[in-house]
Structure 1
Amino acid sequence: MGFSYHKSGMDCRRTCLHFAILLLLWNTTSAQIRYSIQEELKIGTTVGNIAKDLGIDRGTLADRNLRIVTGAKQDLFQVNGRDGALFVNQRIDREELCGKSIPCHVNLKAVIENPLEMHHVTVEIVDVNDHSPSFPDREYRLEVPESTMTGARFQIEGAHDPDTGVNELRLYKLSQNEYFRLEVENLSTESKIPFLILQKPLDREITSRFMMVLTAIDGGSPPKSGSLNVSVIVLDANDNGPVCGQQKYTVSIKENVSMGTFLLRVEAVDLDEGLNGEVEYSLRSKFRSKISELFELNNKTGEIKVKGHIDFEENDL
């Protein structure tokens, strides 16, 4: 048993045509050119000369229709068909094109006819230090209980710098103060997280608020920076007891004094704030029941008044 295969003339012509097209494409894609420019160059700035770099006679360019093919919506570059100069056609923002990616390349195709040639052109966009580090907000409020132990860490939301390489965010600095120091955790080359570290016990009654400035600095030359105002509010702990203005109060009254007569006012102060700083007064004595019959104490104001009948012979307190 045998097998035979027959190819028609049409099939042969189709195969030859495909081969010719592949051969043509192979011949036309004959070179690759690389240029490197900084972002934000002025429109019209020359990047390089395609004709010169490919060794094409400039005198023939007028008849060969030299052009750039990008496939992008925006034509960042154009070529002068008369002299072969590749130039900036629109504003180039490296961060908009590539974000944090390194390197940042724009790939073009230079097409020239008679005969047909196609060459790859790669333009590297180099970052310039056109951004300053910036924080999400201008101010940051941190509430810390005064009972917090030294060594406690408080994370601050870090700054962001769209620039890359040497121009990206490099370090943080904290304004000088004796209670907090700065630590920076490097999660990656692009992510640096600042922390405040408590290094001295807090006392709200001495200092209830701290104002500091956290500064983010990039590696540009000259460097650029951004600042964050940090406000640390020390929350009260009930660490103080009421203190009277004097240790002993003395008052003399006559017997048969009228009920409701004002005798004195006890004053005490608690350095804590809020509910922790509120003071209530009460009378304590081994004759408490008898005292309560004769005198009335306002537990809010500390005022003591006569409540009952005062008789020297009957009352020995």
Structure 2
Amino acid sequence: MEQSGRQAWIERWRCIAYMVALVTFWTEASAQIRYSISEEVKEGSVVGNIAKDLGIDKATLKSREYRIVGSSTEPLFRLNQDDGMLYVSRKVDREEICERSNACVINLKTVLENPLEIHYVAVEVLDVNDHSPVFPEKEKRLEVFESTLPGARFQLQPARDPDGGQFTVQQYRLSHNDHFRLEVKERGEDRKMPFLILQKQLDREAMREHKLTLTAIDGGRPARSGTIEILIEVLDVNDNSPVFTKDAYSAILNENSVPGTLVIQVNATDLDEGANSEIVYSFGKEMDIHLQTIFNIDPITGEIKVTGVIDFEENESYEIDIQASDKGTIPFSTDKTVLIKVIDLNDNAPEIEVTSFSKSVPEDSRVGTTVALISVNDLDSGPNGKVSCFISEDVPFTISPSLQDNMYAIVTKSQLDREEKSFYELTVVAKDAGQPPLSSEKTISVVVSDVNDNSPQFSLSPYTFYITENNDLVSPVFSVRASDLDDGDNAHISYHILRDNNGHSIGLFLNINSENGDILALKSFDFE
């Protein structure tokens, strides 16, 4: 009974002690011991003398147990039982303990046993600028169309700094760039949001990519900073027309070139990219439809080839209108003219035409008398169209150039003699100066007309005839015959008997037939 009474007395005093401890707690809670340390202090650094600050003497410490209880952060600190000194037991990292809280306070509960006393100690961990601002990414890529208007805004991810207060990010800086500027807006406590502002329109053809550096700076002394590379890819807009690589295109083409012959290849470029820079070649919309049957242009390569007949005599040159267009949604195009000069080939023989001709030429014509006029024409040009004419046979005729171009005269070059030759076949040859030369021929028939330039000639001179007396007056006594080398009337002969000046003539005895030369006796002869 006595033992149970003693036990009840002990429990009652413990309850009283507990109530006293509660009162002490509430008293000390309003006036607790508070220490401050900087993070990153070395292990074993002194935080403070709790016993001294609480007025606990060393004797009490030796007779009563004094310790830290009920704290998850207990491993951070160590309490010396002998002198009541509070030490740092390991490295203190404020950012690890308090994360991003501005005030980092560690509350410790110390217990002094027998009788129970509870004391509360607050340890504030002061921030040290031991972290640099860090961006979520090392590199940020943005795609911006070159047609984007100035004033466009692009939000960037802010940098994070585990430090607190003034050691967090205080400002942002953007590397120099003519097209962008930086704008920073406050978003809540200690939070700054950076924006890129387009201040000058982009031109992809001038610069395809812009590289910027964004720097975040904290408020430490010295300040710490972190950077992020911002790569801005300028997206293409079809704002450029194709441009031909040459100011003028010209080509030389031989006539009669076979279909498929390459005339020239045109080329255009476009400063845009993708479909906006892909070029399609075509003939101009106003190009003559006839030319499109002679030439063809490859829409991909720009090669112009022959598809029809190239005839210099039809066209000495061609002007072809071509067009280069891109494949943009709204395509841009550029026009150009290609000049094609056709080189003449000797593919046409001279043509001979008789423009004037005499049916016959008198044999007594003077040397140089014109027999015929001819014109010679060659459709080729240059040496291929330069023609020379000559007569292939050895005849008393020659060709003389006329005062008019391509006109020639066939003239006599020596005296004619119809009785020697009355008909000529002249072969006129026209030959050009091409390589190899081409020629043509024309046959002209020339008749030499008769002139009465020959006298009749008796077959015998003199004639000796014998007649018998008592001749028959009906039958011819004898006949004479004469011939003339001339022709026609000039060769027609009539006969008659000449009389002498005294009127005596054998004609008194004889008579001659003027047509055939038969001589008749006008009377019978008497030998006696």
| TM-score scaled by length of structure 1 | 0.89
After alignment, is 96-105 or 26-35 more displaced? 26-35
Distance 2:287 2:275 in 1: 31
- 2:209 is aligned to 209
Deviation at 1:58, TM superposition (A): 1.8
- 2:297 is aligned to 297
- 1:8 is aligned to none
Amino acid at match of 2:169: L
- 1:150 is aligned to 150
User: Secondary structure of the equivalent of 1:124?
Assistant: strand
After alignment, is 61-70 or 226-235 more displaced? 61-70
Q: Deviations over 1:32-64 (max 9, x none)?
A: 211111122211111000111011112331211
**Contact 1:174–1:215 (Cα < 8 Å) also in 2:** yes
1:24 and 2:20 are equivalent in the alignment: yes
**Contact 1:139–1:231 (Cα < 8 Å) also in 2:** yes
User: Secondary structure of the equivalent of 2:275?
Assistant: helix
**Contact 1:158–1:192 (Cα < 8 Å) also in 2:** yes
- 1:92 is aligned to 92
* Cα pair distance change 1:213/1:269, threshold 3 Å: same
Structure 1: runs of 5+ lacking an equivalent: 1-11
Distance 1:285 1:107 in 2: 89
Distance 2:133 2:151 in 1: 28
State the Cα RMSD in Å: 2.4
Distance 1:254 1:139 in 2: 62
- 1:169 is aligned to 169
Distance 2:171 2:211 in 1: 20
Distance 2:307 2:133 in 1: 71
Distance 1:96 1:223 in 2: 21
- 2:159 is aligned to 159
- 1:5 is aligned to none
**Contact 1:161–1:169 (Cα < 8 Å) also in 2:** yes
Deviation at 1:27, TM superposition (A): 5.2
Deviation at 1:271, TM superposition (A): 1.0
Distance 1:27 1:226 in 2: 52
**Contact 2:144–2:233 (Cα < 8 Å) also in 1:** yes
Q: How is 1:130-141 mapped onto 2 (pairs within 5 angstroms)?
A: 130-141=130-141
Deviation at 1:234, TM superposition (A): 0.9
Deviation at 1:143, TM superposition (A): 1.2
Distance 1:278 1:38 in 2: 66
* Cα pair distance change 1:110/1:16, threshold 3 Å: closer
* Cα pair distance change 1:118/1:18, threshold 3 Å: closer
| TM-score scaled by length of structure 2 | 0.54
Amino acid at match of 1:67: R
Q: Deviations over 1:40-94 (max 9, x none)?
A: 2211111000111011112331211111113326521121011110111122221
Q: Deviations over 1:81-108 (max 9, x none)?
A: 1111011112222112221223211111
- 2:375 is aligned to none
- 1:60 is aligned to 60
* Cα pair distance change 1:74/1:205, threshold 3 Å: same
Deviation at 1:233, TM superposition (A): 1.1
Q: Give 1 or 2 for the bigger CA radius of gyration.
A: 2
* Cα pair distance change 1:238/1:155, threshold 3 Å: same
Amino acid at match of 1:143: E
User: Secondary structure of the equivalent of 1:282?
Assistant: strand
Percent of aligned positions that are identical: 50
After alignment, is 135-144 or 240-249 more displaced? 240-249
After alignment, is 297-306 or 249-258 more displaced? 249-258
**Contact 1:214–1:227 (Cα < 8 Å) also in 2:** yes
After alignment, is 215-224 or 91-100 more displaced? 91-100
User: Secondary structure of the equivalent of 1:194?
Assistant: strand
Q: How is 1:97-116 mapped onto 2 (pairs within 5 angstroms)?
A: 97-116=97-116
- 1:234 is aligned to 234
Distance 2:150 2:24 in 1: 72
Distance 1:26 1:306 in 2: 111
User: Secondary structure of the equivalent of 1:296?
Assistant: strand
User: Secondary structure of the equivalent of 1:170?
Assistant: strand
Q: How is 1:7-22 mapped onto 2 (pairs within 5 angstroms)?
A: 20=16, 22=18
Distance 1:131 1:287 in 2: 73
**Contact 1:285–1:291 (Cα < 8 Å) also in 2:** no
User: Secondary structure of the equivalent of 1:161?
Assistant: coil
Deviation at 1:217, TM superposition (A): 0.4
- 2:273 is aligned to 273
Amino acid at match of 2:50: I
**Contact 2:18–2:116 (Cα < 8 Å) also in 1:** no
How many residues matched?
305
Q: Which structure would you say has the larger RCO, counting Cα contacts within 8 Å and 6 or more residues apart?
A: 1
- 1:189 is aligned to 189
- 2:78 is aligned to 78
Deviation at 1:292, TM superposition (A): 2.4
* Cα pair distance change 1:44/1:285, threshold 3 Å: closer
